[in-house]
Amino acid sequence: MLRSMYSGISGMKGFQTKLDVIGNNIANVNTYGFKKGRVIFKDMISQQISGASAATATRGGTNPKQVGLGSSLAAIDTVHTEGSTQTTARPLDLAIAGDGFFVVQDGTNRYLTRAGNFYLDKAGDLVTSDGLYVLDTTGNKINIPLNSKSFSVGSDGKIVIVDSNDQRVEKNPIAIATFSNPEGLEKVGQNLYRTTTNSGDIQNPLTGGTVVSGTLEMSNVDLSEEFTEMIVAQRGFQANTRIITTSDEILQELVNLKR
């Protein structure tokens, strides 16, 4: 069979994956704290027709002759560029200015998120929309008494409460975890990430970071860029199907040589 046919198949598979990633990006264009994905390709092994030869006293050297055998998936990156912020004026809507992730806890499992739409449960604990506890810099959950007269979140992540006796009480800062390799984090759905062997572990004590209260970080998906990439992926897929069609026509001619 022709090598070009299998090269076309590998190209089609790659562009199908690229379209899957683009579709997920567009679906999450309005998801708070979402980070878009990016597909990277690499060429597959090449078949050696002849190797290189060195120059001699009477003849110059020659280059190797190789035929490529298609493309494969090199990486699906998570692009951790910062999204724009949307002002909500709600004190429990928090955005991180710069790098870092909020640390949340589900039982004994810790996760990370950039989505800062937080709430208070009936006990006054700060939680996510799914009920996961938001942790402070000591690794404990944050409690705001329900009888407090008011509270505010500073840029350092500290929560200042005015209690029922008009006393000013400071809570430990909200934890902001940073990593040397945030691209190594694994998406687990529900706006959450978890650590992997390539991202490193969450260290205690957790350090505070820059927090902007009354705002939420929007998705970093750029629709114009995604639609452009969609067109590129569609045309690339079509070109690879044409390779298979042309290879099939050549094979048909070969089969028809003997009638």
pLDDT tens, 169-178? 999 999 999 8
- pLDDT tens digits for 44-68? 988 899 999 999 999 999 999 999 9
| Residues 6+ positions from 146 with CB-CB distance below 8 Å | 120, 122, 124
What does the mean pLDDT of the chain come to?
Answer: 92
What pLDDT is attached to residue 163? 87
Q: How confident is the model at residue 204 (pLDDT cuts 50, 70, 90)?
A: low
pLDDT tens sequence across 220-240: 999 999 999 999 999 999 999
pLDDT at residue 258 tops 80: no
If one counts every other C-beta atom within 10 angstroms of the C-beta of residue 49, the result is 9
State pLDDT tens for residues 79-97. Answer: 999 999 999 999 999 999 9
From CA 44, how far away is CA 51, in angstroms rounded? 18
Q: Whole-angstrom Cα distance, residue 196 to residue 248?
A: 45
